[in-house]
Structure 1
Amino acid sequence: MNIVNNIVLSAKKVLHAESEAIGRLADFIDESFVGCVEAILKIKGRVVVTGIGKSANIASKIVATLNSTGTPALFMHAADAIHGDLGMIQAEDFVICISKSGNTPEIKVLVPLLKRKGSQLAAMVSSTDSYLATSADFILNANVEREACPNNLAPTTSTTAALALGDALAVCLLEARGFSSTDFAKLHPGGSLGKRLYLQVGDIYLQNQAPVVEENASLKEIIIEISSKRLGATAVVKENSKELIGIITDGDLRRMLTNFDSIERIKAADIMTPSPLTIEPEQYAAEALAIMQEKSITQLIVTKSGNFEGFVHLHDLLKEGLV
């Protein structure tokens, strides 16, 4: 067997082992897990997640997930806790301690100190009869049969299981609080993710030119308006009104040349596309993007109650990082 086949088989073996371990976690969701969620929902303080070694890395990620989904949390390294960082924990906080064995020296020193603080303690462990588990108020069972490491030593399956269980906890808390996409956007204002959840069409279309002609506008007026506003299109409104009735694009002008023998008396209403796609200022920019992608167009007319307001262009969405 060549080295390529060995690599492929090894990778698949690890992924299968870890996916099976995560699948087994569903059988461990019990009253203690439910009690842990209910207790966290009642606290006035924060969730403090701690661990040692690789478990500390997992704890840090769980803290990030909790914070981003509406549960205030902070990370405390178990080793640092017994050298001064324990002061960050208050009686009204809830502590989650992650440890595969639940019997490491640092954990045995830390647990009694946590109990003196008066904080409730949840143990995320693989060994439910360990020192940590038997000392905790709640057990989050992250049991794994063995590590994906062929020597059964390097934390692999166990840390993956802990990470998945942390996600399950965070999502349960999110759903129990009724944490919405709007709430999520408030905590993620930066980057494309946040913008997809809060950026509205009204936040961006006003920066654009607003080409518009009335229905009886001449061909010369149409061409000048499209050329001067540089959006490749113009809206068409009723005479002496803002009521939108159509759109004329560069493509409509080209088609006009093949559809009409004489163009001297052509008016906007003769060549416009009626009832164009529109979007309201209060709609999300991500909705505008979805429409453009579905219809293979590069701009949308913005309207309020059927009246022309302006244009939002694909370039605007590119500039905002939504594409």
Structure 2
Amino acid sequence: MNTVDQILQVARRTVRIEANAIKELENSIDSAFAKAVQHIHSSQGRVIITGIGKSAIIAQKIVATMNSTGTPAIFMHAADAIHGDLGIVQKNDVVVCISKSGNTPEIKVLVPLIKNFDNKLVAITSHRESFLGQEADYVLHAPIQEEACPNGLAPTTSTTAQLVIGDALAICLLELKGFTDQDFARYHPGGALGKKLYLRVQDLVEQRPKPAVSPATSLREVIVTISEHMLGMTAVVENNQLVGIITDGDLRRMLSSGKDIDSLTATDIMSGQPKTITVDSMAVQARELMEELNVSQLIAVDANGNYAGVVHIHDVIREGIV
């Protein structure tokens, strides 16, 4: 296989095989799945997810998804479990075992040990009649017609099906818990994703200077203020209330008008309706408003209209909120 057409043919065949398997997977979601979700939701313990080989890798991903969506979960490698790591499993934990065949030697050793501990066992397997399928309290069936591997050996379609079953478990538990975007932010405080959910305008304006002049400030002082703060603008404030804004553009238009600058004050050139946002708004809302208004900055005010500072598009980009 060395031509572009042959490569594309194989790639598309792989996608088609796995897509068809996922489509059929919907029909395998039955009452056992619902009961497993209910049991996990009502249990007082954690979810211990185990597997071996490629299924172990899928188990780790499902653990990560559950932990990030409010369901405490721990990964336990099936081979390591029978050599000491079984101590991870506590009294009220629910064990989820992932295995395509359900008959691997490690699984056959591990399952009876879990049963002896009296923990509930959930199986994710392609074979209901396997050892794992027969021993599990709940069987989440993940049937496949064929692996995408032409030799039928490399776990491809089967691991994709396992992953989808795991995602379905996690999302059902999320829904039962009433898990909100604010809950999500608590578990994702770092990175752009977390910042979109918790970072507010107040957090941004605290990092910026607050250029301000009074309505009676002379034009010369206005120019100095704008230059000092390097934001291309200044707020016009009276008794801490925002009354206007002066931008570089306002200055250029005034200078081109030929007026006597010595007689002008901030009131004479300011725009009386500046674009504002409240300090308790989310930073992502500030970015969206800037895009909508086609501006690079907004003046932040508190609930009483008091001038709080300036949020600039550069602040938003720096925080990774794009």
TM-score normalised by the shorter chain: which range applies? over 0.9
Question: Partners of 2:257 and 2:305 in 1: how far apart?
Answer: 29
Question: Partners of 1:165 and 1:152 in 2: how far apart?
Answer: 21
Match of 1:269 in 2: 267
2:283 maps to which of 275, 282, 285:
285
Higher mean alpha-carbon deviation, 218-227 vs 31-40, is at: 218-227
Equivalent positions of 1:302-317 (< 5 A) are 302-304=300-302, 305-317=304-316
1:86 equivalenced with 2:86 (yes/no): yes
Give the SS at the match of 1:273: coil
Q: CA deviation at 1:196?
A: 1.4
Question: Partners of 2:96 and 2:41 in 1: how far apart?
Answer: 14
Match of 1:20 in 2: 20
Question: Partners of 1:259 and 1:222 in 2: how far apart?
Answer: 17
1:296 equivalenced with 2:297 (yes/no): no
Give the SS at the match of 1:204: helix
Match of 2:196 in 1: 196
Question: Partners of 1:259 and 1:104 in 2: how far apart?
Answer: 85
Cα distance 1:92–1:139, how it changes in 2: closer, same or farther (>3 A)?
same
CA deviations over 1:240-286 (Å, ceiling 9, x no partner): x2221221111121122344544443332332222222122212222
Equivalent positions of 1:1-323 (< 5 A) are 3-238=3-238, 241-259=239-257, 261-304=259-302, 305-323=304-322
Which amino acid letter does the alignment assign opposite residue 317 of structure 1? V
CA deviations over 1:49-76 (Å, ceiling 9, x no partner): 0001100000011001101110000000
Q: CA deviation at 1:191?
A: 1.3
Question: Partners of 2:289 and 2:30 in 1: how far apart?
Answer: 44
Question: Partners of 2:201 and 2:279 in 1: how far apart?
Answer: 5
Question: Partners of 2:41 and 2:300 in 1: how far apart?
Answer: 43
Question: Partners of 2:139 and 2:280 in 1: how far apart?
Answer: 46
Which amino acid letter does the alignment assign opposite residue 298 of structure 1? S
Question: Partners of 2:271 and 2:71 in 1: how far apart?
Answer: 51
Which amino acid letter does the alignment assign opposite residue 248 of structure 1? I
In structure 1, runs of 5+ residues without a counterpart are none
Which amino acid letter does the alignment assign opposite residue 285 of structure 2? E
Give the SS at the match of 1:164: helix
Question: Partners of 1:37 and 1:269 in 2: how far apart?
Answer: 65
Compute the TM-score of the two structures, normalised by the length of structure 2: 0.95
Question: Partners of 1:276 and 1:218 in 2: how far apart?
Answer: 20
Give the SS at the match of 1:123: strand
Question: Partners of 2:290 and 2:86 in 1: how far apart?
Answer: 54
In structure 2, runs of 5+ residues without a counterpart are none
Question: Partners of 1:19 and 1:265 in 2: how far apart?
Answer: 74
Which amino acid letter does the alignment assign opposite residue 224 of structure 2? I
Which amino acid letter does the alignment assign opposite residue 111 of structure 2? V
**Count of aligned residue pairs for this structure pair:** 321
Give the SS at the match of 1:70: coil
Which amino acid letter does the alignment assign opposite residue 226 of structure 2? I
Which amino acid letter does the alignment assign opposite residue 85 of structure 2? D
Give the SS at the match of 1:207: coil
Question: Partners of 1:23 and 1:250 in 2: how far apart?
Answer: 58
Question: Partners of 2:308 and 2:58 in 1: how far apart?
Answer: 50
Q: CA deviation at 1:43?
A: 1.0
Higher mean alpha-carbon deviation, 108-117 vs 266-275, is at: 266-275
